[in-house]
């Protein structure tokens, strides 16, 4: 990356690669027509922050290069110094999945990073927790009303007696009945529910609330679980008996959870999820590369790092397949891309349906440009494994989990994959949070941190202003992960109690 001018007051644009014929304006508020850069380039018109300026004349049909990748083709002749507004960029076709290089540029392992630890809870199965939560799972939405009333009472009457327990989480969702449970794709929501129910932050404690006549039998939520872990509402005589039973079972588990104390655990036991939402053109310049640097630090420390979002990887997949450790992992990655291509096709759309008005306002012309920025989160390590949506992770190292890019659906899928904590980058800003794991929010722009000082945990916007480096912010994120995982620092989302709903990915029909 070449930051062309270092002074935040001066006009500033950012070119990601020497070969690029466009750069992105970094100044808050953009720059007016007539602005002259040190390079002698003069703006022909106002260019908003995060938006692209042509560094030289482009002829209609010329490739537009950012990150030294073709993010599109000029839809008309474009003069140097022009604002390359979205409509001037013709979308290229997506990389052909059957012609990708596989495992031909596997990055060498970076030097191990020894001695980093955090204070976590040790679970009976040997895994660790970053929070000490009582999770109450459900087999079907029908029970949500009763469970919500029970949780209100648990929080008011029981939880204050168990100060070592952080919270009680009701795992309500929209699945379980009125669904085609034997459809081929039903495996996705079912395994997601199953893996959420045994999330490591629940410390090995299980309760499943079922109704009794639903399609997803409560026994299927945690296969092999104790019968005593299941509460079927139809088996109880009236409302009060249901509530009493849930309170009684909660109490037993709160007693046990309350005995737990944080102990020193190696950083290698952490599973960290990475996501972006409300991206802008600075996402790929500031926040995502900084998170990518932190991802490399985590991998060097022996941890598991999960990045996701199929529609935001699809157009950059040719940059990922060379990095997979084996042909098998490469084929798995391609299989997931093909699955999603077909899923979108059945709905008569393609990956271009991903970009949002906010993305475009933030300077992202299309899904190709968005994808180039998105994959920066993955850092430079080898990709050692691929997960289908909602699958639990079982490996160390950098993993690709093929989830939708929808923030709340990706978050739900990554929780099912077993993340202890999520790092979430945002350009436009979102108050997103998860009840089951802390979310560290990294902003791409100084202006966002100014607007939301009490919602953005890390301001990567300082990178664009030349105040700090990607490496500085990467280390800051890495250290903050360990602090938050240890319960020593609280994320803003947790501080305000901002938690999104669980939103399952169900590609199968409902009935």
Q: Which of residues 186-245 bind a second copy (CB under 8 A)?
A: 211-215, 217, 233-234, 237-240, 242
The least CB distance from residue 433 to a second copy, in Å, is: 5
- Residue 466 binds to a second copy (criterion: CB under 8 A): no
* One of 75, 143, 464, 465 touching a second copy (CB under 8 A): 143
Beta carbon nearer to a second copy, 233 or 423: 233
Angle at CA 414, nearest 5°, toward 378 and 458? 55
Between 380 and 419, how does the x/- string for binding to a second copy read (CB under 8 A)? ------------------------xxxxxxx---------
The least CB distance from residue 328 to a second copy, in Å, is: 27
The least CB distance from residue 237 to a second copy, in Å, is: 6
* One of 107, 174, 204, 266 touching a second copy (CB under 8 A): 174
3-class state of residue 400 by DSSP? strand
The least CB distance from residue 318 to a second copy, in Å, is: 20
Closest CA to 325 of 246, 422, 400: 400
What the block records as the tokens of 148 is 């919500």
- Please identify, among the stretches 128-136, 468-476, 480-488, 498-506, the one whose residues bind a second copy according to the rule CB under 8 A: 498-506
Residue whose token pair is 């802390």: 438
* Residue list 307-366, contact with a second copy (CB under 8 A): 311, 343-344, 346-349, 351, 353-354, 356-359, 361-362
Rounded Cα distance between 478 and 480, Å, is 5
- Residue 447 binds to a second copy (criterion: CB under 8 A): no
The least CB distance from residue 196 to a second copy, in Å, is: 15
* One of 28, 62, 185, 483 touching a second copy (CB under 8 A): 185
What the block records as the tokens of 310 is 């199929």
> Binders of a second copy: how many residues, by CB under 8 A?
83
Beta carbon nearer to a second copy, 102 or 144: 144
3-class state of residue 425 by DSSP? strand
* One of 102, 106, 183, 247 touching a second copy (CB under 8 A): 183
* Residue list 282-311, contact with a second copy (CB under 8 A): 311
* One of 200, 278, 284, 443 touching a second copy (CB under 8 A): 278
DSSP 295-345: HHHHHHTT-EEEE--GGGTGGGHHHHGGGBSSHHHHHHHHHHHHHHHHHHH
Residue whose token pair is 């270092």: 6
What the block records as the tokens of 173 is 């969702």
Q: How many residues belong to the chain?
A: 511
* One of 6, 248, 264, 511 touching a second copy (CB under 8 A): 511
Beta bridge partners, 422, equal 273, 439
Beta carbon nearer to a second copy, 89 or 435: 435
* Residue list 79-118, contact with a second copy (CB under 8 A): none
DSSP 121-181: EEPTTS-EESS-EEEEEES-GGGHHHHHHHHHHIIIIIGGG-TT--EEEEE--S-SSSB-T
- Residue 493 binds to a second copy (criterion: CB under 8 A): yes
Instruction: Indicate the DSSP class of residue 58.
Output: B
- Residue 281 binds to a second copy (criterion: CB under 8 A): no
The least CB distance from residue 197 to a second copy, in Å, is: 18
C-alpha distances in angstroms, 237 versus 7, 102, 471? 71, 60, 61
* One of 81, 432, 436, 445 touching a second copy (CB under 8 A): 432
Beta carbon nearer to a second copy, 148 or 248: 148
The least CB distance from residue 215 to a second copy, in Å, is: 5
The least CB distance from residue 255 to a second copy, in Å, is: 27
Rounded Cα distance between 443 and 428, Å, is 8
The least CB distance from residue 243 to a second copy, in Å, is: 9
Rounded Cα distance between 429 and 461, Å, is 12
- Residues 6 or more apart from 230 whose CB is under 8 A from it? 207, 208, 210, 218, 219
């Amino acid at each position: 990356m070449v930051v062309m001018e270092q002074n935040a007051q001066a006009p500033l644009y950012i070119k990601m690669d020497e070969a690029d014929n466009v750069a992105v304006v970094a100044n808050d508020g953009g720059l007016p027509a007539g602005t002259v850069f040190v390079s002698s380039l003069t703006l022909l018109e106002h260019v908003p922050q995060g938006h692209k300026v042509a560094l030289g004349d482009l002829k209609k049909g010329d490739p537009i290069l950012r990150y030294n990748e073709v993010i599109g083709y000029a839809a008309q002749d474009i003069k140097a110094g022009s604002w390359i507004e979205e409509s001037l960029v013709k979308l290229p076709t997506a990389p052909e999945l059957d012609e990708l290089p596989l495992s031909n540029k596997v990055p060498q392992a970076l030097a191990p990073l020894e001695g980093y630890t955090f204070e976590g809870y040790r679970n009976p199965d040997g895994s660790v927790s970053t929070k000490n939560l009582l999770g109450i799972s459900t087999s079907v939405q029908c029970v949500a009303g009763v469970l919500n009333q029970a949780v209100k009472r648990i929080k008011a009457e029981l939880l204050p007696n168990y100060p070592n327990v952080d919270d009680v989480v009701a795992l309500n969702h929209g699945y379980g009945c009125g669904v085609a449970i034997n459809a081929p794709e039903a495996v996705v929501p079912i395994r997601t529910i199953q893996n959420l129910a045994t999330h490591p932050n629940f410390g090995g404690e299980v309760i499943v609330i079922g109704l009794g006549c639903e399609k997803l039998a409560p026994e299927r939520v945690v296969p092999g679980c104790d019968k005593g872990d299941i509460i079927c509402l139809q088996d109880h005589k009236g409302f009060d008996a249901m509530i009493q039973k849930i309170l009684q079972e909660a109490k037993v588990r709160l007693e046990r959870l309350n005995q737990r104390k944080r102990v020193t655990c190696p950083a290698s036991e952490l599973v960290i999820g990475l996501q972006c939402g409300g991206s802008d053109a600075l996402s790929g310049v500031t926040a995502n590369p900084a998170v990518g640097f932190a991802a490399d630090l985590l991998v060097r420390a022996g941890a598991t790092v999960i990045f996701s979002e199929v529609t935001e990887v699809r157009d950059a997949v040719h940059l990922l397949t060379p990095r997979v450790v084996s042909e098998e992992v490469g084929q798995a990655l391609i299989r997931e891309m093909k699955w999603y291509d077909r899923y979108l096709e059945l709905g008569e759309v393609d990956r271009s349906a991903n970009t949002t008005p906010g993305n475009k306002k933030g300077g992202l012309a299309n899904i190709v440009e968005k994808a180039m920025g998105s994959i920066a989160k993955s850092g430079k390590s080898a990709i050692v494994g691929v997960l289908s949506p909602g699958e639990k992770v079982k490996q160390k190292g950098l993993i690709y989990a093929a989830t939708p890019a929808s923030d709340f659906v990706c978050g739900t899928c990554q929780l099912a994959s077993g993340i202890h904590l999520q790092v979430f980058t945002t350009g436009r800003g979102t108050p997103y949070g998860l009840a089951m794991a802390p979310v560290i929010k990294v902003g791409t722009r100084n202006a966002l941190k100014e607007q939301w000082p009490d919602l953005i945990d890390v301001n990567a916007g300082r990178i664009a202003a030349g105040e700090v480096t990607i490496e500085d912010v990467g280390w800051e994120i890495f250290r903050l992960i360990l602090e938050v995982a240890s319960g020593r620092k609280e994320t803003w989302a947790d501080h305000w109690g901002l938690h999104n709903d669980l939103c399952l990915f169900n590609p199968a029909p409902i009935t």
